[in-house]
Each structure stands twice: as structure tokens, then as C-alpha cells.
Structure 1
Amino acid sequence: MQRVKTPSLNDLRAFEAVARLGTVRAAADEIAVTHGAVSRRIRNLADYIEVQLFESEGRGIRLTSQGEVLAGAVTDAFELIQEALAEIQAPEQAGPILLSCERSVAMRWLMPRLSNFQTQYPEADLHLSVGGGELDFTKDKASIALRRLDFAIDPHYQVDVLMLEKMGPVMTTSMLEAFESGDYIGLGSKTRPEAWRDWLVKHPDVPKPKEVRYFDHHFFMVEGAASGLGVALCPKVIAFDYVQDGRLIDLYGFKEDGTEYGLIYPKSMKMNEFTLALKSWLSQIAAEIDKL
């Protein structure tokens, strides 16, 4: 087969981004060039191969049949390149591990246990950062992330479910009488403002709070409950140690809310022995919560 002359890589990159994202503007934002630069690159590519790649559709554009064929091939090619780069750039020796974890989960569950991992694997160079929701491993420089799985996951990422999310009201024993009479303040988190409403709909037998006050994060909220400020509707993973040592009680237990926590990492990632050990260790300590 006769070898054809390959178009510009920049032109192909712009074309692939528009084909995948659907608009020139979105592609321009992703590859950090101007709207006009993306349009020029697509025109250059179409002129070079002498094929119409897009056609008008209302106020937008869509791929032609020839454009769809090329888009599929270019996307596959870029994915192969990314996988190859990840493989050849992966260090052979055990390097540092950056674990990204949701702030409240890190402070109230992970941090008190990390010394156990460090004792078992003293040579592991483990670092911790906090963050929530969607992430970009290249931008964030993270090796692996622990997240509540309540957002869309990039198809290039692997997700290993760790534990179910379970919610329940927790309080000090001194708050019990006020709670049972409905004369109490509910404590909530601004990260989940509808949590109390949803809980009360599912559990109509629970006395309703006279008002709900919100904290920026769950770790503030659960500390507020331990200080006697009110009754916190709290994830089990965050309230777990408070309940185990008797600082808080959970009259109704913790009920599944339909979400999960999971470990997220690039499918192309080449894990060293300590990253694999961290995955296994996190699975073990997460299993302890589901048992109780």
C-alpha cells in the first residue's frame, strides 16, 4: 500500500478535540489556543487531505461520514500514544506516591490510620493532598485518588469501589432528650445541602430538627456534634471513630444513600509495589467500616 503524507500533528489534534467535544470553542479551551486558531487548523487539515470533515447543523457543526472515519482513527492513535508514553516514562524504581483524598475523609478517617501503613511499609514515600470531585491526574500530579463516586468518571480512569456511603444522625448522649422531643438543631454540610431533607423523607419516624445549620465541611460538622452544638447528619466514614470511642451515639444507625467511595487512577498507570500495597491496605481498612 502506498504511504500517504501525514498531515500536521497540530491540525490533527485540533480536529480530534472538536470531533470529541462537539464545538470549536470547547476544543480551543482544552488545547489552550484561540477559537480562530482551531478553525484554521481544521481548514488546513481539510485542504491538505482534500476531504470535507465537518458540515453545518443548525447553529453548530457535525462530522461528515468521512470526518467520522478520521475522527475514530485519530482518537485511537492519540490514546495509543498516551499509553505508550505512560509506559516508557514510568519509573522502574519505587517513586513517591501522591494520594488525593476528600478533605473530611482524609482528616477524620484516613489520617488517624496512615501511621499504620507507614509502619508496615517504612520505605514507601507517601504524600497526601486533599481535594474532591473531578480530577485531572496530569494537572494534579496525583498517583491515585479516593473519592465519593457522585460524578462522571473519565473513561481513561479505572475505578475500584472501596465502600458504600452510609448516612445517619449522630449526637452526644446529652443531646438525646432534646433530639427525641424534636427540640434540637440539625447540623449539615454545605457540600450536601439537601442531605437532611432527603433523610427525613426516607425516615419519617425521625424527629425533625427545629432548624438546620450548615458548616463548610463534614469535619467541622461532626466536631460540632461532638461539642454539643446539635445533631449531625453525617457519613459513617467520618463519624466512625467518634461512635467507636463513645464521643457520639447513632440511634438509627447508618443507611446507604446510593453512592460509593472508590479509588480512581489512570488505566495506563504502571503501579510500583508500594502503590499496589496502598491499594490493598485501603481496601482492608475500608472493609472494617462495612463490618460494623
Structure 2
Amino acid sequence: MKRSTLPSLDDLRAFETAARLGSVRAAAGELALTHGAVSRRVAKLARDLGFRLFEPEGRGLRLTPDGAALSEAATRAFGLIEDSLATIRSASGSAPIVLSCERSLAMRWLIPRLSAFQDRHPEIEIHLSTGGGSPDFARERVTLAIRRLDFALDPAWTVRELMPERVGPVMVPGLRDRFALGDYVALGSRTRPKAWADWQRAHPHAPPPRSVQLLDHHFLMTEAALGGLGVALAPEVIVGQDVAQGKLAAPYGFTPDGTRYGLIYPGSYVPTGHADKLCGWLFDEAARDARVPPPAQAGPAPRRP
């Protein structure tokens, strides 16, 4: 196709976004345009190309076969451009590294350590964002993502295991006796609503709670445990420092739950320069945690007859 026959990139972007999100309204939100502006751009693209892109389906729209083919090609093309720009900018050091991390992990593990990296490398600009689940590297302009690998992984990504997930019940030391008697509130996270049930099945001799309370995130659950509101079933990576400092007790220690955390980036992207230094530091931190033996814990207090 000659360059003169290529459609407007603005029109193509509006169409690709509407097709990918399945909604003109959603596309308008992502592109910071009005609903009408997106509709006009999609309609103009169809006129310029000479074929229909959408067709009515009930009260909504669906892609025509031609529209579906163009949508797939446009998504690949825009993704390739985004990946190439990220690689160029990272190699030249001209752009900040956008590091996306799950919220609780960012607050309880990454942020407390990040100042040491920044002190060592003040020339490296890092923008930290929080998010969970499948990262959209192109739309969110993310360079690297740290995620618990409990969702479907795109085969086009590079996924490098960072550290295993290990969980266990933690509480302020004063709650140990009540925990042993089953006189406690089990604190959990809504992001893992079955965690307590899974842990109890794996530890059938552990005292069951009198009730379960779910909070929105692990960092809120941890703060509740530190406040003495109950016993949190927490990842070691989130509460390890509190246990090491004696703020929380972990009478059963921490056991693997079968999942792991990983560092993810597009398969077409190769971390170099600043990004490579950040990746190396992340793996060094994870390895250092793995080498530190867990603090000695006394067994749970005996249950009364």
C-alpha cells in the first residue's frame, strides 16, 4: 500500500480502540475524546476505505469480517510501534521507566526499598504505578510489571520468576493464646477470598476462626492485624519485616501456596541500560530475601481441652 492510500492515523486509532474495547463510549474515555468525535472518526475511516467496519447487532455494534481483519492488524501495528519506542527510549535513557506493581506489594515491599536504589542511581528516573492482573503495556505505557502470576499469561510476554508466594497466619504477640483457642477473627483480602479455606485444608489441626472478615487489600489486612483486630493470613513478602521486628508473630511460619511473583515485559522488549540495572536490582532484592532465614517462631500455644 502506498503511503498516499494509508488512512488517517487518528481515525485508525479511534477505530482500533473502539474495536478492542468493544464500545465507542469506552474508546472515547481512553482517548479523552467525546463519544461523537470517536463516532465521526470511525465513520470517516469507513468512507475513506470504502467498506463497512461495524454492523448493527441488537442495540450495539459488531465488527464486520473486514473490520475484524483491520482491527487485528491495527492492534498489532500500534503495539509494535509502542514496543519499539519503549526499546529506543530505554536504550537511550531518554525516558523514565514506568514500573507497575500490585498495590500491596508496592506499599509493603517495593517502596520501602526503592529509596536505596534511587540513592545509588539518581540518574535513573522511575515512575511507579499500581495495578493488578494482566498489564496492558501499550495502553498504560508500562515498561516493566511485577505481578503475582495467578492469571493467564500472554505467550508474547517475557515472564521471569521473581520469588515464590509463601503465606501464613500472623498476629500481634498478645493474640497468640486466643488464636490457639480458636477465639479470633480471621482477616483476609477480597482479592483472595478463598485463602483461609485453602490454608485450613492444608493445616487441618490449626484452630479454626470464629469468623472471617475480608478487607479490600493485603496492606489494609496487614494494618488491621498490626492494630490487633484479628489474625491475618498474609504473604511473607508483605509482612516479613514486621515478623522480623517482633511486631507480628507467625506461629505456623509461611508455606508456599503454589503461586509466584514475576517480572513481566513485552517479548519484543529487551531491558538495557537503566532498565537492565533496575531489573538486576529487583532480582537481587528477591534473592536477598530468600537467603535470610525466617525468624525463629515458637509453636502455637496448646489448645485447652
TM-score tier by shorter-chain length is 0.7 to 0.9
Distance in 2 separating the partners of 1:208 and 1:109: 29
1:34 Cα offset (Å): 3.1
Farther-moved stretch of structure 1 (129-138 vs 251-260): 129-138
What's the CA shift for 1:19? Answer: 3.0
Offset at residue 142 of structure 1 (A): 5.9
Q: What is the Cα deviation at residue 271 of structure 1?
A: 3.8
| Contact 1:94/1:273, CA 8 A, preserved across alignment | no
2:57 is matched with 57
Alignment partner of 1:146: what SS? Answer: strand
Q: Distance in 2 between matches of 1:228 and 1:159?
A: 38
Change (3 A) 1:39 1:223: closer
Higher mean C-alpha displacement, 152-161 vs 271-280: 152-161
AA of the residue aligned to 1:17: T
What is the DSSP-based 3-state SS (H/G/I as helix, E as strand, rest coil) of the residue aligned with 1:61? strand
* Cα shift at 1:181: 1.4
Residue deviations 1:15-46, cap 9 Å, x none?
A: 22233333333333333333333333333223
Distance 1:59 1:155, change over 3 A: farther
SS of equivalent residue, structure 2 residue 206: coil
Q: Which residue of 1 aligns with 2:45?
A: 45
Amino acid at match of 1:262: G
Deviation at 1:237, TM superposition (A): 0.7
Shift of 1:245: 4.4
Equivalent residue runs for 1:1-292 within 5 Å: 5-90=5-90, 92-93=92-93, 97=97, 99-114=99-114, 117=117, 121-125=120-124, 127=126, 129=128, 131-133=130-132, 143-150=143-150, 158-189=158-189, 192=192, 194-212=194-212, 217-219=217-219, 221-222=221-222, 225=225, 228-265=228-265, 271-290=271-290, 292=293
Inter-CA distance 217–144: structure 2 relative to 1 (3 Å threshold) = same
CA–CA separation in structure 1 for the residues paired with 2:95 and 2:137: 16
| Residues 199-249 of structure 1: per-residue CA shift (max 9 Å, x gap) | 335544321223345666544544554565542211111222233344443
CA contact (8 A) 2:218 2:234 kept: yes
Separation (CA, whole Å) in 2 of partners of 1:224 and 1:210 = 17
- 1:45-98 Cα offsets, whole Å, 9 max, x none, are 232232233333344333333333333333333233334433454462476545
Q: Which runs of 5+ in 1 are unaligned?
A: none
Quickly say closer, same or farther: Cα 1:240–1:47, change in 2 above 3 A: same
Distance change >3 Å, CA 67–CA 287, structure 1 → 2:
same
Structure 1 residues 264 and 210, CA gap change in structure 2 (3 angstroms): same
Residue identity over aligned pairs, in percent, reads: 51
Name the residue aligned to 2:296: none
**Structure 1: which amino acid aligns with 2:74?**
V
Residue type at the aligned position of 1:78:
F
- State the TM-score, normalizing by the size of structure 1: 0.75
CA distance in 2, matches of 1:2, 1:226: 65
Number of residues paired by the alignment? 291
